[in-house]
C-alpha cells in the first residue's frame, strides 16, 4: 500500500523497538511487531509475538485471527481453523468477520473440501461483498465444482472491484504479496487447488 515499502518497514521496526524498550510488556507493541514480522514473511517469529499478546489479553480476537493465519502459513492447518472459529465465537458480529469466513473457506478449499469452502466463502461475500479477494476465492471454488457460469461471474467481479491488473493472470498473481505464500506444503496445496480452480474459471496462466 505504499511506494516506499522498504523504508516504511525500517521505520516501523524502529518505532516498535522504541516502544518495547520503554514498555516491554505492552500488548499493542507486541501485536504491531507480530504484524510487521508477518508482513516480512517471518511467520514463526510473528507467532511468538501473537502468543505473547494472547498471554496478556486472551480475548483479543484480532490477534487470535492473526495467529490463526500465521499457523496456516506455517502448515498448522487444523490449528488455524480452530483459532478462526474461536475468533468468530468471541466476536460473532465483528466488522472483520468476513475476512475470517474467507480464511476458513480458503483453508477448506485447499484441502479439497470444496462444497464446505463454498459455504464459508458465500458467507464471507455476504459479510463483505466489495472485497475482491473473497470474489476470487469463490471463483476458484465454483470452478472446481464445475459451476462455470458462477466462477466466471466471480472472476469478473473480482477484476472489477480490484480496478487493476491484479487478477489478469495466474503468473502475475503469484508475483504479488498475498496469502498464497507460506511453507512448501501450503504452496503446493495452492497449486493443485486454488490456482487450478482459477485456471478453470478462465484466468490465463500468463
Q: How confident is the model at residue 177 (pLDDT cuts 50, 70, 90)?
A: confident
- Over range 88-93, report the average pLDDT: 97
* Res 179 pLDDT > 70: no
The closest alpha carbon to 34, from 26, 45, 23, belongs to 45
- All structural domains of the chain, each given as residue ranges with its CATH number in brackets, are 1-94 (1.25.40.10), 96-206 (1.25.40.10)
Asked whether the CA dihedral 159, 163, 165, 167 is positive or negative, the reply is: negative
Q: What is the DSSP string of 142-160?
A: HHHTT-HHHHHHHHHHHHH
* Res 188 pLDDT > 70: yes
Q: Model pTM?
A: 0.92
Residue 134, classed as helix, strand or coil, is: helix
Query: pLDDT of 95-108, one tens digit each?
Result: 999 999 999 999 99
Residues with Cβ within 8 Å of 82's Cβ and at least 6 positions away in sequence, in order, are: 68
Q: What percentage of the chain reaches a pLDDT higher than 90?
A: 91
Query: How far is Cα 175 from Cα 181, in angstroms, rounded to an integer?
Result: 10
Amino acid at each position: 500500500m505504499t511506494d516506499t515499502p522498504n523504508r516504511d518497514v525500517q521505520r516501523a521496526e524502529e518505532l516498535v523497538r522504541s516502544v518495547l524498550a520503554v514498555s516491554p510488556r505492552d500488548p499493542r507493541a507486541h501485536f504491531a511487531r507480530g504484524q510487521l514480522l508477518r508482513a516480512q514473511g517471518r511467520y514463526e517469529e510473528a507467532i511468538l509475538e501473537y502468543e505473547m499478546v494472547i498471554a496478556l489479553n486472551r480475548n483479543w480476537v484480532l490477534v487470535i485471527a492473526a495467529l490463526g493465519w500465521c499457523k496456516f502459513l506455517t502448515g498448522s492447518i487444523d490449528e488455524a481453523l480452530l483459532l478462526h472459529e474461536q475468533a468468530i465465537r468471541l466476536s460473532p458480529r465483528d466488522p472483520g468477520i468476513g475476512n475470517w469466513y474467507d480464511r476458513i473457506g480458503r483453508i477448506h478449499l485447499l484441502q479439497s473440501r470444496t462444497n464446505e469452502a463454498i459455504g464459508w466463502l458465500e458467507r464471507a461475500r455476504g459479510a463483505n461483498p466489495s472485497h475482491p479477494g473473497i470474489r476470487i476465492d469463490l471463483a476458484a471454488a465454483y470452478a472446481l465444482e464445475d459451476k462455470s457460469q458462477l466462477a466466471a461471474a466471480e472472476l469478473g467481479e473480482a477484476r472489477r472491484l480490484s480496478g487493476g491488473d491484479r487478477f489478469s493472470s495466474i503468473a502475475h498473481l503469484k508475483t504479488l504479496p498475498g496469502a498464497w505464500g507460506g511453507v512448501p506444503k501450503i504452496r503446493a496445496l495452492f497449486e493443485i487447488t486454488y490456482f487450478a480452480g482459477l485456471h478453470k474459471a478462465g484466468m490465463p496462466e500468463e
